[in-house]
Amino acid sequence: MDRQTAEQKIEELRQQIEYHNRLYFVEDRPEITDREYDALMRQLQELESLFPELVTPDSPTQRVGGEPLPHFEKVEHKVPMLSLGNAFNEGDLRDFDRRVRQAVGDQPVRYVCELKIDGLAVSLRYEDGWFVRGATRGDGQTGEDITQNLKTIRSLPLRLRKPVTIEVRGEAYMPKRAFEKLNRERETRGEPLFANPRNSAAGSLRQLDPKVAASRELDIFVYGIGELIGETVESHSEGLALLESLGFKVNPERRVFEQIDELIAFINRWAEKRPELPYEIDGMVIKVDSFAQQQELGFTAKSPRWAIAYKFPAEETVTVLEGIEVNVGRTGVVTPTALLKPVSLAGTTVKRASLHNEEIIREKGLMLGDHVVVKKAGDIIPEIVAVLPERRTGAERPFQMPTHCPECGSELIRFEDEVALRCINPDCPALIREGIIHFVSRLAMNIEGLGEKVVAQLFEQKLIASVADLYYLHERRDDLLRLERMGEKSVDNLLQAIEASKENSVERLIFGLGIRLIGAKAAKVLAERFGHLDNLQRATREQLLEIDEIGPKMADSILTYFAMPQVQELLERLRAAGVNFAYKGVRAEEGSDLPLAGKTVVLTGTLSTMTRQEAEEKIARLGGKVTGSVSKKTDLVIAGEKAGSKLEKAGKLGVQVIDEASFLQLLEQQQAD
């Protein structure tokens, strides 16, 4: 066969295979048998092996999985993948509806209600219609590149029907039949069974060998658009229709509603019908349909105000409380944990449940050996909701909280107005170990490779006794190599990650230090206000209280922390190791000559040249601070197309308003300066 004939035949086979892929994996109406499909694939593979120069990235043969990867690369999402707020009952849904309608005023509101697929959230990027990258959600800003594994999902198009550039969001999942088949195979081989389809899907997509992912029969539903170039849509429902027209698999079980009562009835029907589905769902997602209204509603620090996830009522089951384990956290709080007779609940095996504190044990009247009712809060966190005293045999025993720390033996204390017991020994191994785990965590110094098990191992082997010791581990490389599962490459990667963390902006360090009452957001506020850790250390109570987000208890906690001699010693060791103490963002004082310095800005309507996230970043670079609502404190409103009630309110309050063109002109002037 000559090259031209082969090229024609290869293209013909590819079109046939992709046609049948869509019928089988997307539309669930196959036209040919598996044997006939396999015959088409074999023909294509044979021709591509004879003419390897004709192999293209979108060929069906490229789905089988390539060579194993050494590790997953990090990927920055073009538009952040935010998590959703939760609703657990009808009242929560009605509150959400009330908040939305109050925010948009007299405008009519439409909601799109969809099934909440229980899988792994992913982002897919296509450029000129070609699939170029897929990533996990990660922390919402940065995920892991799992492109090769996602290519193995047959329902995921490798080339779109139009040459658009688009970043879409979806949920990769394992169908129930595939999960059952996988567990049967593992049982036959004597391997541990997977707990549920969600964990199986996540584990499959995080395999370094794509051939493993290819064998797991995963599927995907696409549910949203992150970025879109070359097409225009004005609502979520229009976006879903566009995604379908491009060749994506979009869940058909969705409806648009104008009234909250009808929406709630739809949710209740699916709460009953969910066992009939061939895949797992754990709730429903409700989104305001209009993109203009979505922009008007805006975001909180963690989630959009225009969407909410309704979680189905948790499953409950009965098991036996076999024991209570007591653990000490990084702040010294002693937390009891229930040890349960293993029981299956909401697709997972539950062995433990949080009891929070001694008062909870008393309130519930728990005794060791009791039969208890266990549920998963939001289908995630197991908790004991009730005791069944009628099942007692007389063999049950009361539980007493310890009077001394189980780790260091120090006497436990209870602060005024607190129910929790605490260990306040600063040298307690548990406080130190848990503090280090917090220090290296994602929102703090984000040191990759330093998970709980590695930290525990370093601590037990006396290689670290404080967070500062991490930055001197390069001097103990030989000791690291003797640790379990720590080869040359692992040690080198760990030391490189520790070295890289020295360059973090100081808000990560402030949060990582574990100052009581100071979370990640407060740490960022402090870093922006003071600019350098030395300035924060010297701050007075009055200076701290000048900051809106810092209250009296937080201020006292900061002052108490930095006054401790051991903290001063710790900071000097971190400084000597080269850890950055400076804020690397733009501070108000530094940007005082910027056009929006110190101004409070509100965005409303749809901007045609940039996303809301991009606009907020540009406003910050001009010295401004973006808020979600218009008030007397607002200095400027930037109005895009279809601006709504915020624009009207700005007019009533006499707030300055500029359009997108004026905003772009402001940006150009700043760049020219």
CATH number, domain of 339, equals 2.40.50.140
> Which tokens is 135 given?
């990533």
| Amino acid present at 565 | P
Amino acid sitting at position 41: M
Is 133 contained in some domain? yes
Q: Are residues 375 and 473 in the same domain?
A: no
DSSP class per residue in 452-467: HHHHHHHHHTTS-SSG
In the prediction, which pLDDT does 65 show?
47
Residue 23, pLDDT above cutoff 80: no
- Name the average pLDDT for the chain: 87
Check whether residue 237 and residue 338 sit in a common domain. no
pLDDT (average), residues 150-168: 92
Question: In the prediction, which pLDDT does 638 show?
Answer: 93
Contact indicator for 575, 581 with CB cutoff of 8 Å: yes
User: Are the C-beta atoms of 496 and 471 separated by less than 8 Å?
Assistant: no
In a domain, 419, yes or no: no
Same domain for 185 and 294, yes or no, is yes
Concerning whether 116 is annotated as a catalytic residue, the answer is yes
Query: Residue 352 falls within a domain, yes or no?
Result: yes
Nearest C-alpha neighbor of 160 from the set 45, 256, 242:
242
Please indicate, yes or no, if residue 234 is contained in any of the structural domains.
yes
Kindly state whether residues 521 and 544 are assigned to the same domain.
yes
Same domain, 147 and 221: yes
CATH number at residue 458: 1.10.150.20
Of 366, 391, 416, the residue at which a domain comes to its end is: 391
Is residue 259 situated within a structural domain? yes
* Residues forming beta bridges with residue 337, ordered by sequence position: 325, 354
375-379, 574-578, 661-665: range with highest mean pLDDT? 574-578
144 and 93, same structural domain? yes
**Residues forming beta bridges with residue 125, ordered by sequence position:** 133, 167
Q: Is residue 593 part of a domain?
A: no
- Among 363, 391, 419, where does a domain finish? 391
Question: Could you tell me if 379 and 516 lie in one domain?
Answer: no
**pLDDT 10s digits, 559-618:** 999 999 999 999 999 999 999 998 887 555 555 567 888 788 888 888 888 877 678 778
Average pLDDT over residues 16-34: 74
Say which CATH number the domain at 97 has: 3.30.470.30
- CATH number of 56's domain: 1.10.287.610
If we measure between CA atoms, which residue out of 560, 448, 444 comes closest to residue 506?
Answer: 444
Higher local confidence (pLDDT), 508 or 209: 508
- The per-residue pLDDT for 68 is 45
Residues 132 and 269 in one domain: yes
Q: Are 613 and 652 part of one and the same domain?
A: yes
Task: Check pLDDT > 70 for residue 544.
Answer: yes
Provide the pLDDT for residue 64.
Answer: 55
Q: How many domains does the chain have?
A: 6
Residues 496, 510, single domain; the answer is no
pLDDT surpassing 70 at residue 457: yes
Q: Dihedral sign, CA of 386, 390, 391, 396?
A: positive
Phi and psi torsions of 327, nearest 5°: -125, 155
The C-alpha atoms of residue 439 and residue 415 are separated, in whole angstroms, by 25
Q: Residue 328's pLDDT is what?
A: 92
Q: Residue 176 domain-assigned?
A: yes
User: Domain containing 664 — which CATH number?
Assistant: 3.40.50.10190
What domain range includes position 569?
506-577
Catalytic residue among 9, 78, 116, 632: 116
Q: What does the pLDDT look like over 121-156, one tens digit per residue? A: 999 999 999 999 999 988 788 888 999 899 999 899
Residue with the bigger pLDDT between 499 and 620: it is: 499
pLDDT digits (tens, 9 = 90+) for 265-310: 999 999 888 888 999 898 999 999 999 999 999 887 678 999 999 9
**Of all helices (H) and strands (E), which one includes residue 485?**
none
**For 487-518, how does the pLDDT look when each residue is reduced to its tens digit (9 = 90+)?**
899 999 999 999 999 999 999 999 999 998 89
488 and 528 together in one domain: no
Lowest mean pLDDT among 70-74, 192-196, 345-349, 375-379: 375-379
The pair of three-digit structure tokens given for residue 184, joined into one six-digit string? 């049967």
Q: Is 494 left (phi over 0), alpha (psi -120 to 50) or beta?
A: alpha
What is the predicted pLDDT for the residue at 71? 64
**Range of weakest confidence among 93-97, 184-188, 224-228, 528-532:** 184-188
The DSSP string of 268-335 is HHHHHHGGGSSS-EEEEEEEESBHHHHHHH-B-SSSBTTEEEEEPPPPEEEEEEEEEEEEE-TTSEEE
- Is 238 in the same domain as 109? yes
pLDDT tens-digit map of 306-335 = 999 998 877 788 999 999 999 998 888 999
Does 518 fall in a domain? Answer: yes
